[in-house]
Amino acid sequence: MDTILEIKSIESGYGEVQVLWGISLQVKPGKLTTIIGANGAGKTTTLRSVMGSVRTWKGKVVLNGEDITRLPPHSRANRGLVLVPEGRQLFADMSVEENLEMGAYSRRARKGQKHNLDRVYDTFPRLKERRKQLSSTLSGGEQQMLAMGRGLMQEPLVLMIDELSLGLAPVLAQQLFLSLKSLRKQGLTIVLVEQNVHLALALSDYTYVLAEGRVEIEGKSREVAGMDGVRRAYLGL
């Protein structure tokens, strides 16, 4: 299949305030697609609309050939669409391993729980070291690892990540990006919303640039990184 996730001309917003104005994206299997743009461009709303936590007013969301536009979020997750939200949203009074186990709630994920747990610990060895600790005692970088690990426990076809490096020191952000690189090499399809445009463009295969709820620029990440407008607006060049 050429496209595993397709967003077709979606419009959505909050209350009577429209945020997205005909967003269309195509995500290729096994690739890392990144979405960049200024604050308020509609990046997070795009992910929430794809996930179903924000209602789509118009347009379609198609996952693995199936129209999932009218399905609730949990049904989308059961089909392999997983969102790691901005702010991590961990269970503070649960241990690392308990948080991970909470990610394996769907039928498809429960079957592979042990395999997926091993995969998470292989990807993030620090989580294995801290598996009995409360998630609230982890550092910011470790909490982001845990949020990503919980997403992996759902056995995603497509893993969407909102603001991977937000609030993290550069060295921790680079470590997490290396983890993404490893997961992509394993064949995982990833959609990333990211404020660190340098790292996002360097790591990803394809990039969409949003402005005021519309796709302003799209293309192979290497080509987008070389565009004068992108270099001036986002790379400080």
The architecture in CATH of the region 1-80+156-237 reads: 3-Layer(aba) Sandwich (3.40)
Render pLDDT for 5-56 as a digit per residue (tens, 0 to 9). 999 999 999 999 999 999 999 999 999 999 999 889 999 999 999 999 999 9
Q: How confident is the model at residue 236 (pLDDT cuts 50, 70, 90)?
A: low
For range 93-102, the mean pLDDT: 94
For range 157-169, the mean pLDDT: 91
Question: Quick one: pLDDT at residue 237?
Answer: 52
pTM for this structure?
Answer: 0.93
Question: Quick one: pLDDT at residue 204?
Answer: 96
Residue 234 scores a pLDDT above 90: no
Domain spans of the chain, in order of start:
1-80+156-237, 88-155
CA distance 159 to 145: 14
